[in-house]
Amino acid sequence: MKDIVRDGDPVLRQVAKKVEFPLSAEDRQLAADMMAYLVNSQDPKIAEKHQLRAGVGLAAPQVGVSKQMAAVLVPTDNPDDPKPVLKTVLINPLIIVQSVKDAALAEGEGCLSVDKDIRGYVPRHDRITIRCQDMAGNTIRLKLKDYPAIVCQHEIDHLNGILFYDHINKENPFKLKDNTVVIE
Ligand code: NB4
Ligand code: NI
């Protein structure tokens, strides 16, 4: 697994290139490696052994590849059900529908590419519809809300050269619009 690119590297501020189909062997490997990072990072033993910071998402620019691809792995919080809430690789994703209502994580956001703790709410859309491609090149639509929607917006931002702290209100980091749900 390649090292994760840190803030300051220009690749994080570039608009990533579209991925072409059929996927190259290299692109398939990239998708598999990014998902493997997330799976490993969420296993406390493996994460400790390899010194991995836990992640629920990872975008290709974060491993130095300026392509429109991101892995998302949102685990379930139900111990009786091992099925993740969302496990997918987003390719060429676009937000085609977004709610007026916003949502923000109560704890703010952290990014594997940003070492400092930057506090404040990151306002996102509470509900989105994403149009993207799957590994086979089929165009798919994902309707998401709340936490999984926030994760995907963080990842899609990376593909457009945007980092979470760009969205934090500079005067008052904890100021939110009226119609915003805070998600625990
Ligand atoms: C992406 C997220 C930042 C906010 C919310 C959260 C973690 C990331 C960055 C929205 C998307 C990575 C990608 C976590 C985490 C909860 C689930 C399951 C068991 C530990 C894990 C911890 F690690 N963010 N880190 N940051 N990024 N929740 N959880 N838990 O994932 O930079 O661009 O394993
Ligand atoms: Ni990030």
Q: Are 71 and 57 in contact (CB under 8 A)?
A: yes
Element holding 89 (H helix, E strand):
strand 86-98
pLDDT digits (tens, 9 = 90+) for 147-156: 999 999 999 9
Range of the domain at 173: 10-183
CA dihedral over 94, 120, 61, 145, signed as positive or negative? negative
- Is residue 157 included in any domain, yes or no? yes
Concatenating the DSSP letter of every residue in 117-176 gives ---S---EESEEEEEEE-TT--EEEEEEEHHHHHHHHHHHHHHTT--GGGGS-SS-TT--
Residue 84 lies in a domain: yes
Q: What is the pLDDT of residues 94-136, one digit of tens each?
A: 999 999 999 999 999 999 999 999 999 999 999 999 999 999 9
Take residue 124 and report the two structure tokens written for it. Answer: 């996102």
pLDDT band of residue 77 (cuts 50, 70, 90) is confident
Q: How confident is the model at residue 64 (pLDDT cuts 50, 70, 90)?
A: very high
Q: In whole angstroms, what is the distance from residue 92 CA to residue 124 CA?
A: 20
If you average pLDDT over residues 58-77, what whole number do you get? 97
CA–centroid distance, 107 to ligand 1, in Å, is: 11
pLDDT value for 126: 98
Residue 1 within a domain: no
Q: Is residue 33 part of a domain?
A: yes
Q: What is the percentage of the chain residues whose pLDDT exceeds 70?
A: 99
pLDDT in tens, 19-57: 999 999 999 999 999 999 999 999 999 999 999 999 999
Residue 113: its pLDDT value, please? 98
pLDDT over 80 (residue 2):
no
| Total of domains in the chain | 1
In a domain? residue 5: no
Whole-number pLDDT of residue 82: 87
Pocket of ligand 1 (CB under 6 A): 42, 54-59, 62, 75, 105, 109-113, 150-151, 154-155, 158
CATH of the domain at 35: 3.90.45.10
Quick one: 180 exposed, middle or buried, by C-beta within 10 A (0-12, 13-18, 19+)? middle
Q: Supply the DSSP symbol for 5.
A: P
Domain-embedded: residue 4: no
Q: What is the pLDDT of residue 163?
A: 99
Residues around ion ligand 2, judged by CB within 5 A, are: 111
Report yes or no on 25 lying in a domain.
yes
Peptide bond into 22 cis (omega under 30): yes
Domain annotation covers residue 147: yes
pLDDT for 1? 52
